[in-house]
Amino acid sequence: MFFRTAWLVLRKDIAIEAKSFEVLTTTLFFAVACVLIFAFAFVKEGRPVEDAAAGILWIAIAFSGTLALGRTFERERYGETLRALLLAPAPRAALYVGKLLGMLALLAIAEALLAPMVALMFQAALFSRPLLLVGLLAGGTLGFCAVGTLFAAMLVRARSRDVLLPILLYPIIIPVIIAGVRGTAALLSTPPDDATAIMWLGILGAFDTVFLTLSLWTFEPLMTE
Amino acid sequence: MDVTVGVDFDSVQLVDVSRHFGRRRALANISLTAGAGDIVGLLGPNGAGKSTLITLLATLAAPSKGEVRYGGQPASRLGPALRTRIGLLAHELHLYPELSARQNLVFFAELYGLDPRGLVDAALESAGLTDRADDAVNGFSRGMRQRLALERALLHRPRLVLFDEPFTGLDDHAVGLIADRLRALAAAGAIVVLATHDLDLADGLVTRVALIRNGRLISDEPAAPGLRARYRAQVGAH
Amino acid sequence: MKKAFGPLAALVGVMFVAAPFVVANAPYESTMGLVQKIFYFHVPSWFAMFTAIGICGVASLYHLFKNSPKADRLAEAAGELAVLFGLMGLVTGPLWGRKSWGVWWQWDAKLTIALLLEMTFISGILVRKYGGPGSDKLAAAVGIFGLAVTPFVYEAVNIWRTIHPLTSVVPTLSAAMAGPFWFCVSAFMLLLVVLLTLRVNLGARQAALDELYLAQED
Amino acid sequence: MYLRRLLIALTSLMLCASPAFAVQTGVGQGGFVPVDSVPLADQLPAAPLLITAYAFVWIAVMVYLFSIWRRLNKVEADMRALAQKMPQR
């Protein structure tokens, strides 16, 4: 019942998105725009500042992820469908998992575009250790989305939710972003510093475990008004 | 689906329920019982607390004080399975406008663990939307959406049927259809709670009348002719 | 509780008056000299902040699952105090760093994440202020996640190579330094208790006022 | 009222300690720091920094106490106003 419900919610979100691709296209566009803005800030005399690529990649992910979170839950607010979901007999945490999987899929697509783009534009050897890069991206994105989905869901009924989402989310999520940036920067050094990257991957794993457990545990009481 | 087994009830009881948001009182010390076959009209002006009451009954919110009991049991003891027996049609329609009528119904049927085959076609037919089944909901008129939302809320044959202002923006024909549907549900043993500020529609439909003003229950009695006059006397001063 | 409060408040006052004299008598640290004495106020303020965060997190959890207004008020009070003591740590830290590191602010792990923690609890205050009805639950979520990231912060300094003194410096204090240090820690902890009591009392009065408003509506 | 008196007492107690800062300055500049222990690179006097740090803690507590006191006053004032309105209804 739990995973079936999660799957249903995910499939529903994909079906909605497939009608217009609205969230996907706007998120991708915004992500690219972010990279360009940072390119102006971190490129000096035609050469990118050292290590800037890792930071730019993660900032673009965090910013576009926040935008996508807001849009996705705005959809559930319109017509109050979030309440209809909460009325379903399934454990409510299953709804959270469904929404989380949708966000992860969305950001995975964005990252598949962002990573090569940053690697090309900043002459960064991001793909020297493809497995580690994927691991870092997955770990960081999971941590970001775990907290982000919970907060966006609970803010659906709050006043000034647009402003409050980044305000609540960023302080808690920045450690995850730091771990992602440091880990990715380790991959960019010549030769790639595998040991450091793996250490940050471990920290990301710890964050993910804590954030996911807490979110699953607190989702039900947080969604009861 | 195994979670539904064993959860059913034939009465809903509010025991001294209060709900407030900080300094604003939405409901104060409401006690009310509704049984199978009842169509309880929650009447009162806008902002009287009707919607809050419906939300509490739907388990979407918890009372600040007091308890809501389903067949004598508090909601906390019944768990998620309780929600298989509750259906809610609110003013906001609980439909995904991007999806088609059929997609909406299939999604919610599966969410309730039901087999969508047959069930969804029957629902589409009773909403009169069989030939528009695969059109996106955002192309529908208010009346069509409302009919679809009604079928969506009743897909899982709930025992407790909650309606929050279901007649807004509907023409007489559509109102008649919904009223007939409500009577049929009550006759089949459902507990129907209907919140509305529209007296003309409530008159002749409801079997019990609960008047609410400023979050307080000011009367609770069987429906009788002359609803309007009594409403005037008790609420009209507002 | 009410009876103990007066003497307790007086004791805190006396301890804080005495603190500079006690600290003045502590020996100078060999390389940092006089400025190292900021340590006697800097570290205890972090201790107090972590305690406040712990109280806030646990009270938030209790409120979330048991729907207890009392726990909510405690969480609100502890959240504010976490910000207050965090502010003390964040201001005294750079003053120390200016002398011994030569810069006001250093982007080392501990400082950065301490700032994040401070921001987390400020965001808790903001959401209570601007979140509208039901924001107590949202603030509870912030409190719980704030508590959850705190152990990471405490460990971060040991993982990330940094110029910050390690957290292990406290148990290795010499006896002459340990005395004044623990004196200051007790003073800060008692101050936390006193302020917490005052703030919870304020919350209780606000709740009573809300009750009165509700009663008046009837 | 009891609480308010306590707040005022606490505040004045804290003010009592300000002379301690003066003493501390004296100690600091009185040559207790052996000159050779101060690295040449940073010749900043330490005492003002130290005093600022201590003073800040005090000021922060005072400001916080004041804010509690003010909020409490506002609540009590509202309560009195409400209580006066009540019997008329």
Contact: chain C with chain B (3+ CB pairs below 8 Å): yes
Residue C56 C-alpha, separation from nearest chain A C-alpha, in angstroms: 15
Tell me, yes or no, whether B204 lies in a domain.
yes
- Supply the pLDDT for residue D24: 40
- Supply the pLDDT for residue C166: 57
Tell me, yes or no, whether D40 lies in a domain.
no
Q: Which of C202, C212, C216 to mutate to test the interface with D (most CBs of D within 10 A)?
A: C202
Q: Report the DSSP beta bridge partners of residue B89.
A: B163
Say how far apart CA C23 and CA C127 lie, in whole Å: 39
Residue A68 C-alpha, separation from nearest chain C C-alpha, in angstroms: 20
Say what the pTM is.
0.87
Residue C25 C-alpha, separation from nearest chain A C-alpha, in angstroms: 40
What residues of B are in contact with residue A15 (Cβ under 8 Å)?
A: 99, 103
Identify which has the larger pLDDT, D42 or C70. Answer: C70
- Supply the pLDDT for residue C108: 67
Tell me, yes or no, whether B60 lies in a domain.
yes
CATH for B135: 3.40.50.300
What residues of B are in contact with residue C135 (Cβ under 8 Å)?
A: none
- Supply the pLDDT for residue D32: 46
- Supply the pLDDT for residue D5: 56
Tell me, yes or no, whether D38 lies in a domain.
no
Tell me, yes or no, whether B77 lies in a domain.
yes
Pick the closest to residue C52 from C26, C88, C16 (CA basis).
C88
| Residue in chain B lying closest to C212 (CA) | B23
Q: What range defines the domain where residue B45 resides?
A: 11-235
Q: Are C183 and C19 in contact (CB under 8 A)?
A: yes
Pick the closest to residue C197 from C85, C84, C78, C86 (CA basis).
C78
- Supply the pLDDT for residue C2: 66
Task: Give every CB contact of residue D57 below 8 A, 6+ residues apart in sequence.
Answer: C41, C45, C88, C92
Contact between chains at A8 and B107 (C-beta distance less than 8 A): yes
Chain B within 8 Å of A20 (Cβ-Cβ)?
A: yes
Chain B within 8 Å of C155 (Cβ-Cβ)?
A: no
Tell me, yes or no, whether C140 lies in a domain.
yes
Burial of A50 (0-12, 13-18, 19+ CB in 10 A): exposed
CA A17 to chain centre: 17
Tell me, yes or no, whether D29 lies in a domain.
no
Tell me, yes or no, whether C11 lies in a domain.
no
- Residues of chain A scoring pLDDT < 50: none
Beta strands in B44-115 (DSSP E): 65-70, 73-74, 86-89
* Total of domains in chain B: 1
* Total of domains in chain D: 1
Identity of residue A222: L
Question: What token pair was written down for C49?
Answer: 């902040």
Q: Are B159 and B183 in contact (CB under 8 A)?
A: no
Pick the closest to residue B154 from B226, B84, B59, B55 (CA basis).
B84
Tell me, yes or no, whether B2 lies in a domain.
no
Tell me, yes or no, whether C25 lies in a domain.
no
User: Per-residue confidence of chain C (218 residues) as pLDDT tens digits?
Assistant: 567 788 888 888 888 888 877 777 777 776 666 767 788 888 899 899 999 999 999 999 999 998 888 999 999 999 999 999 999 988 888 887 777 677 777 666 677 778 888 999 999 999 999 888 888 899 999 999 999 988 876 665 556 655 556 555 666 667 777 788 888 889 999 999 999 999 999 999 998 888 888 777 66
- Supply the pLDDT for residue B1: 39
Provide the 8-state DSSP code for B20.
E
Contact between chains at B86 and A87 (C-beta distance less than 8 A): yes
Say how far apart CA A148 and CA A142 lie, in whole Å: 10
Tell me, yes or no, whether C99 lies in a domain.
yes
pLDDT in tens, D6-41: 555 545 544 444 444 443 433 333 334 444 444 444
| End-to-end CA, chain B | 49
Chain A: partners with 3+ C-beta pairs within 8 Å: B, C
Touching D: C residues 128-187, CB under 8 Å: none
- Supply the pLDDT for residue C111: 76
Q: What range defines the domain where residue D55 resides?
A: 45-89
Residue C190 C-alpha, separation from nearest chain B C-alpha, in angstroms: 32
**Segment (H or E) for B41:** strand B39-43
| Residue in chain B lying closest to C211 (CA) | B23
| Residue in chain C lying closest to A175 (CA) | C113
Up-side HSE of residue B113: CA atoms within 13 Å toward CB? Answer: 18
- Supply the pLDDT for residue D47: 76
Question: Could you say which of C133, C213, C218 has the minimum Cβ distance to residue B28?
Answer: C218
| Residue in chain D lying closest to C92 (CA) | D53
Q: What is the mean pLDDT of each run of 10 residues along chain B (238 residues)?
A: 61 89 82 89 85 90 88 83 90 90 94 90 90 91 88 91 84 83 90 85 83 86 73 62
Task: Give every CB contact of residue C129 below 8 A, 6+ residues apart in sequence.
Answer: none
Chain B: partners with 3+ C-beta pairs within 8 Å: A, C
Residue A195 C-alpha, separation from nearest chain B C-alpha, in angstroms: 46
* Total of domains in chain C: 1
Pick the closest to residue C19 from C41, C50, C43, C48 (CA basis).
C41
Question: Could you say which of D21, D46, D79 has the minimum Cβ distance to residue C20?
Answer: D21
Tell me, yes or no, whether C14 lies in a domain.
no
Tell me, yes or no, whether B5 lies in a domain.
no
